[in-house]
Structure 1
């Protein structure tokens, strides 16, 4: 039998008493730490997702941001484009702030 097969098929060695008590002490602590990290990560991801949803909802809000259209210089061309003419300037009422 080779050395590798001997190592694979050996029965588990009984841990010394001191090592077993050490393991009993750290197992609950490490489980608590792992659970805390998992809960914190999940909370952070949910918060980040809710913030992203708020940004999307704000982008879809029906806010009107009028802006001047400099290439439409006559009242007729402005009104033909569906804009409105005021103070010798063509205005667009449906301007997106993301434009």
Structure 2
């Protein structure tokens, strides 16, 4: 087999599946062209690239989620549409299960968030509004009125007391 320097691991794995007789028939120019073809795909990364092995006992299962800008040609899109249809049995089962889990979680989470937000909003509006309160350290009418407060029922009242004070 000819010497190949700086080989892409994917190219190496695929190239190792070719019989040695055919692999030795490639010229150096052909090998370099094939390597360039593999190298051009190695640099194209997806904006979102999540690859997870899912630990399900007794099953070898993985999940891949890829997203990014569309760079495939219209011809390739048409070919892949036929090879990888969106609506097949596996995809429908997965999407149904995923949407069921998402819906059931939303029935649990949204009421909790709603009640938290409404209670926070009502607490904020009540607690920041000024309301009357008595001032415990003022004991006579003249001192109370001197501070622009109201004397009522033998107590000094501040009509604009802020709870944030």
Displacement of 1:49 in angstroms is 1.8
How far off is 1:6 after superposition?
A: 7.4
Q: What RMSD in Å do the two structures reach over aligned CA positions?
A: 3.9
Matches within 5 A, 1:43-62: 43-59=111-127, 60=129, 62=131
In structure 1, list runs of 5 or more residues that go unmatched. none
Q: Deviations over 1:32-54 (max 9, x none)?
A: 21233345444333222211121
Unaligned runs of 5+ in 2: 1-33, 43-71
More strand by percentage = 2
CA distance in 1 between counterparts of 2:119 and 2:41 reads 57
Does the CA contact (< 8 Å) of 1:65 and 1:93 recur in 2?
yes
Q: 1:45 to 1:55 in 2, by over 3 A?
A: same
- Runs of 4+ that moved beyond 4 A: 4-12
> More relative contact order in 1 or in 2 (CA 8 Å, sep 6+)?
1
Q: Taking structure 2 as the reference length, what is the TM-score of the superposition?
A: 0.37
Larger helix share, 1 or 2? 1
Separation in 2 of the partners of 1:80 and 1:6? 82
